[in-house]
């Protein structure tokens, strides 16, 4: 019995990152609440940082750059989650809902 | 191809399990009706991504992924679910055409395009590396080459904390809930 060495191949990681990105994009369009859209955005960021780490492991001459970039993506994602959640709580206090179809005051 | 019952074969098998965990978590995060299950799926997906980082020779980033995403971001989203009290999304996918089949087709199209692009491109491998990418080298680069970015992200995090406090506070005072 034999099995391909999946973990040692750049294309495998790129395909997984593309799959995470596609699922995240689908969720971002598909979800009807703000928290669901935030979760899908986190999936997109995870796909992007997985791409950076894969290129860092297989192609980069300096293998610290991708790790540092991924750490900064994590910091930005944490700040984005905190801001987005406080916006969501403020929206909930004003509208009593976080459904994106009901928050339509600017719709005219 | 490596034999299954050797170190490389078993590690390849564990890699497959980790990939399955990641994809399953992502599908749960986008498809469950209740948001609390979606957050759980997000945590499962991030545990899988952390395992992938471990396979990419960076255990420090894997640990940080586990700490920040699973430990902090998911718990924060759980708090938001508790405070905002969303109703279960029974009506998921029953909106316009954008939220239904078209979004699924767009996701499939993005995945197919990106992965076929990754497969077609002839990636040029690097001749040699200037260091081994260990935690010590990451710390050195973070405090020499990238010290400005390091300071700036601490400023961004401070502004995010203050901004989050101000935003949540304003929403409270407008409803007149307290004197």
- Give dist(CA B19, CA B23) in Å, integer: 6
Q: Do A20 and B55 touch (CB under 8 A)?
A: no
Q: What percent of chain A lies above the pLDDT cut of 70?
A: 99
Query: ipTM value of the model?
Result: 0.90
* Angstroms from A73 CA to nearest CA on chain B: 10
Q: Give the pLDDT confidence score for residue B3 in this predicted structure.
A: 79
A36 chain-B contacts, CB cut-off 8 A = 30, 35, 38, 89
Q: Which of A43, A63, A38, A106 is nearest to B43 (CA)?
A: A43
Which residue from B minimizes the CA distance to A43? Answer: B26
For residues A48 and B132, which has the higher predicted lDDT (pLDDT)? Answer: A48
- Global confidence as pTM: 0.88
Q: Give the pLDDT confidence score for residue B124 in this predicted structure.
A: 83
Q: Looking at the predicted structure, is the pLDDT value of residue A8 above 90? A: no
For residues A108 and B21, which has the higher predicted lDDT (pLDDT)? Answer: B21
Q: How many CA atoms lie within 13 A of B56 on its CB side?
A: 33
Q: Which of A42, A75, A87, A13 is nearest to B43 (CA)?
A: A42
Alpha-carbon distance values, A75 to A71, B24, B69, B72, B157 (Å): 6, 25, 10, 11, 7
Place of tokens 């997906």: B45
Residue A102 exposed, middle or buried by CB count within 10 Å (0-12, 13-18, 19+)? exposed
Radius of gyration of chain A (CA): 18
Interface of A with B in 7-66 (CB under 8 A): 7, 10-27, 29-33, 35-36, 38-40, 42-43, 46, 50, 53-54, 56-65
Q: Which of B30, B39, B64, B71 is nearest to B50 (CA)?
A: B64
Whether domain A11-101 has CATH 3.90.226.10: no
Q: Give the pLDDT confidence score for residue B98 in this predicted structure.
A: 65
Q: Give the pLDDT confidence score for residue B171 in this predicted structure.
A: 53
Spatial neighbors of A19 by CB under 8 A, at least 6 apart, are A47, B23, B26, B111, B115
Q: Work out the mean pLDDT of chain A and round it to a whole number.
A: 88
Place of tokens 């490389």: B8
Return the SS3 of B125: coil
Q: Give the pLDDT confidence score for residue A46 in this predicted structure.
A: 93
Q: Give the pLDDT confidence score for residue B52 in this predicted structure.
A: 93
* Per-residue buried b or exposed e for B115-140, using 16+ beta carbons within 10 Å of the residue's own CB: beebeeeeeeeeeeeeeebbeebbee
Give the tokens for residue B110.
């993005």
- Give dist(CA A10, CA A77) in Å, integer: 25
Q: Which of B19, B71, B25, B53 is nearest to A27 (CA)?
A: B25
pLDDT tier at A72 (50, 70, 90 boundaries)? very high
**Sequence-ordered strand ranges (E) for A1-108:** 2-3
| Three-class secondary structure assignment of B63-115 | HHHHHHHHHHHHHHHHHHHHHHCCCCCCCCCCCCCCCCHHHHHHHHHHHHHHH
Instruction: Please indicate if any CB of chain B lies within 8 Å of the CB of A104.
Output: no
Closest partner residue to B30 (CB to CB) among A4, A17, A27 is A27
Q: Give the pLDDT confidence score for residue A104 in this predicted structure.
A: 77
Alpha carbon dihedral A75, A71, B40, A80, in 10-degree steps, equals 20
* Angstroms from A94 CA to nearest CA on chain B: 7
Q: Give the pLDDT confidence score for residue A93 in this predicted structure.
A: 84
Spatial neighbors of B47 by CB under 8 A, at least 6 apart, are B21, B25, B66, B70
Instruction: Taking residues A72-96, report their average pLDDT.
Output: 89
- Give dist(CA B22, CA A4) in Å, integer: 19
pLDDT in single tens digits along all 179 residues of chain B: 777 788 888 888 999 999 999 999 999 999 888 889 999 999 999 999 999 999 998 999 999 999 999 999 999 999 888 888 777 665 544 556 666 788 888 889 999 999 999 888 888 887 788 888 788 989 999 999 999 999 999 999 999 999 998 888 875 555 554 44
């Amino acid at each position: 019995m034999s099995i391909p060495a999946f973990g040692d191949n750049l294309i495998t990681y790129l395909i997984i990152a593309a799959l995470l990105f596609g699922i995240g994009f689908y969720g971002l369009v598909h979800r009807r609440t703000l928290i669901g859209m935030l979760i899908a955005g986190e999936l997109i960021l995870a796909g992007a940082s997985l791409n950076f780490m894969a290129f860092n492991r297989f192609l980069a001459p300096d293998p610290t750059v991708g790790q540092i970039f991924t750490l900064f993506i994590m910091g930005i994602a944490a700040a984005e989650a905190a801001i987005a959640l406080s916006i969501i709580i403020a929206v909930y206090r004003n509208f009593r809902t976080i459904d994106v179809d009901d928050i339509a005051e600017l719709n005219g | 191809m490596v034999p299954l019952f050797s170190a490389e074969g078993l590690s390849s098998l564990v890699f497959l399990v980790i990939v399955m965990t990641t994809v399953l978590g992502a599908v749960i995060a986008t498809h469950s009706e209740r948001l609390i299950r979606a957050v759980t799926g997000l945590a499962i997906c991030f545990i899988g991504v952390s395992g992938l980082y471990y396979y990419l020779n960076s255990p420090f980033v894997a640990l940080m992924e586990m700490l920040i995403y699973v430990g902090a971001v998911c718990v924060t989203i759980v708090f938001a679910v508790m405070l905002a009290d969303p109703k279960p999304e029974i009506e998921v996918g029953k909106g316009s055409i954008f939220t239904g089949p078209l979004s699924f087709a767009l996701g499939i199209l993005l995945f197919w395009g990106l992965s076929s692009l990754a497969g077609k491109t002839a990636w040029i491998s690097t001749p040699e590396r200037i260091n081994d990418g260990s935690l010590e080298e990451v710390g050195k680069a973070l405090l020499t080459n990238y010290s400005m970015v390091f300071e700036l992200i601490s400023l961004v995090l401070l502004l995010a904390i203050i901004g989050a406090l101000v935003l949540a506070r304003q929403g409270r005072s407008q409803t007149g809930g307290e004197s």
